[in-house]
A and B are shown apart, each in its own frame.
Chain A
Amino acid sequence: MRATGGPEAAVGDVLLSVENVSLSFGGVKAVSDVSFDIRKGEIRAIIGPNGAGKTSMLNVINGFYHPQQGRITFKGETRAKMRPHEAAYGGIARTFQNVALFRGMTALDNIMAGRTLKMHTSFFWQLLRYGPAMREEAEHRHRVEEIIDFLKIQEIRRVPVGRLPYGLQKRVELGRALAMEPELLLLDEPMAGMNLEEKEDMSRFVLDVNDHYGTTIALIEHDMGVVMDLSDRVVVLDHGIKIADGTPDEVKKNQAVIDAYLGVAH
């Protein structure tokens, strides 16, 4: 059960709501008629057995997939379709199951790339790399260094990310998402493939992001311990359908959830 924090942790109105969303690929129904909401400032976990449609759900929120039915309401605006860059500009950032870092660039450049949508100096100044362009670079570098300090990845700034171990890559990816200063952060299995120590570190980062920056977080995760400890509320999906929605304690006791995980035929 997550300990209540200070005023920053106070949970507010609905930031994002998903209504009756259905998504299919060809004949395969990934998500069927799923509705839930995410409140501002909370940590919302989306869990479920493999193939439940969790990543697809995240992709729909991001605008990467367009649902055949249903709507998404984000910050009061309702859309049938979200475009990825609209999501980005609206304040949604995410990390990926298979670490989607830019392998040809260093860790620093990757995180700086996350600042792109906040950088506005014109092409002309970029050509000269002088004046406004340099000032903007320095200013954003300052913000990025704050994130680097926060995630404790100072030594690996200049290392090309392809050479980093998996755990550090995940941290850089988190840094890149944070660089966008998102209101809603979508984390797709941020602890996958990590040992206990790394998981503890990452959990601490997730909590700090929520406390310190006030970011609303939606995360997909398989480790039940992490889910129970970190999240305020949980949504459970199975075969594309929502089977439970509530606090971690409620969900833990829900029979349908237990059946789904234990593989009871239905």
Chain B
Amino acid sequence: MDILYKIFIDPFVQMGAAPDLLVQTLWEGLVAGVLYSLIALGFVLIFKASGVFNFAQGIMVVFAALTLVGLHEHGVPAYVALALTIGVMFCLAFAVERLILRPLINQPDIILFMATFGLTYFLIGFGELIFGGETKVMIADQLLLPRGAIEVKMAGGFVTLQKIDIAAAIIASLMVATLAIFFQRTRIGRALRAVADSHRAALSVGISLEQIWVIVWFAAGLVALTTGIMWGARSDVSFALEVIALKALPVLILGGLTSIPGAIVGGLIIGVGEKLGEFYWGPLMGSGIESWFAYVIALIFLLFRPQGLFGERIIERI
């Protein structure tokens, strides 16, 4: 009885008792959610266009961030370093297309998925070799990203909003909007969707798979760079970030693997759900439940809606 009270009543009582704390938690959740969405976005882009689940997205985030910081450490001014990093991400996309995707055209999806595993491990080793394994500080100030916080008084207390978080939310929204327009309205966007459906069919209507893939991986690389900057600005850059990729999976489950809106909504739901769970139910179960809480949410969701919120219903014909 006591247990039931603790699980089902008490947390809500706590929420009501200190609404400013609730709002703070919700805000933190939304911010985390935005970052999850960004990562998920990178996955969705590549999946939508090449049918590949790019496990290396997480390490691409780290790699992009490290390249930026690394260049700056060697004396390159911030925005020049940014431009160079964008160039590096393009080279990466080109290399991936040439060395991994092209030889594996028409192989089943699981083979490509495993190949991205290989890519991940390679980039981990390569990144550590070049940049060293220590934690680095993101060059947020040099990039003219805002610092400090805004305090909002409300409901008897106050809520602190970090300016960098607000910036992150705005930048992420801009990025999503741009990508959505790109996919829906442009010729290349349509070609991307065609390629996602069937490599062979796209080839037969004259779409150059190679070009499309380079574009898409480059776009994913840009998303990864943005994510790296934003995330790094909030909490330093280290190889621990690559496990964030695993965090994106529940988001993708919830949102569906092929939907950009789904990645956003899913990210926000998981972010908020996780923070609420950690804050209000965490003390009950011990710390660290965020390592699996998101997965359990996603799993329960999957049981009722196997294709996710926005994903396409899989109809099997025989």
A–B contact at 8 Å CB threshold (below): yes
C-alpha spacing A25/B316, complex, angstroms: 12
Interface presence of B318 (CB below 8 A): yes
Shortest C-beta distance, A85 to chain B (Å), equals: 15
Shortest C-beta distance, A3 to chain B (Å), equals: 34
Count B-side interface residues using an 8 Å CB cutoff.
2
Interface presence of A128 (CB below 8 A): no
Shortest C-beta distance, B198 to chain A (Å), equals: 16
Query: B278-318 interface mask toward A, CB cutoff 8 Å, 1 = contact, 0 = none?
Result: 00000000000000000000000000000000000001001
C-alpha spacing A96/B318, complex, angstroms: 7
C-alpha spacing A98/B318, complex, angstroms: 7
Cβ–Cβ < 8 Å partners of A25 in chain B: 315
Cβ–Cβ < 8 Å partners of B318 in chain A: 59, 64, 96, 98, 100
Cβ–Cβ < 8 Å partners of A100 in chain B: 318
Shortest C-beta distance, A244 to chain B (Å), equals: 27
C-alpha spacing A53/B318, complex, angstroms: 13
Shortest C-beta distance, B150 to chain A (Å), equals: 49
Contacting residues of chain A (85-140) with chain B, CB-CB under 8 angstroms: 96, 98, 100
Give the nearest-CB partner of A94 in chain B: B318
Contacting residues of chain A (57-93) with chain B, CB-CB under 8 angstroms: 59, 64
C-alpha spacing A239/B312, complex, angstroms: 27
Shortest C-beta distance, A160 to chain B (Å), equals: 16
Query: A11-33 interface mask toward B, CB cutoff 8 Å, 1 = contact, 0 = none?
Result: 00000000000000100000000
C-alpha spacing A25/B317, complex, angstroms: 12
C-alpha spacing A203/B102, complex, angstroms: 44
C-alpha spacing A59/B318, complex, angstroms: 9
C-alpha spacing A64/B318, complex, angstroms: 9
C-alpha spacing A237/B315, complex, angstroms: 24
Contacting residues of chain B (83-128) with chain A, CB-CB under 8 angstroms: none
Query: A31-71 interface mask toward B, CB cutoff 8 Å, 1 = contact, 0 = none?
Result: 00000000000000000000000000001000010000000
Cβ–Cβ < 8 Å partners of A64 in chain B: 318
Shortest C-beta distance, A98 to chain B (Å), equals: 8
C-alpha spacing A59/B316, complex, angstroms: 12
C-alpha spacing A25/B315, complex, angstroms: 10
C-alpha spacing A71/B232, complex, angstroms: 62
Shortest C-beta distance, B302 to chain A (Å), equals: 22
Shortest C-beta distance, B79 to chain A (Å), equals: 52
Cβ–Cβ < 8 Å partners of A98 in chain B: 318
B binding-site residues for A, Cβ under 8 Å? 315, 318
Can you spell out 5 A-B residue pairs with CB atoms less than 8 angstroms apart? A25-B315, A64-B318, A96-B318, A98-B318, A100-B318
**Which 6 residue pairs spanning A and B have beta carbons closest together?**
A96-B318, A100-B318, A64-B318, A59-B318, A98-B318, A25-B315
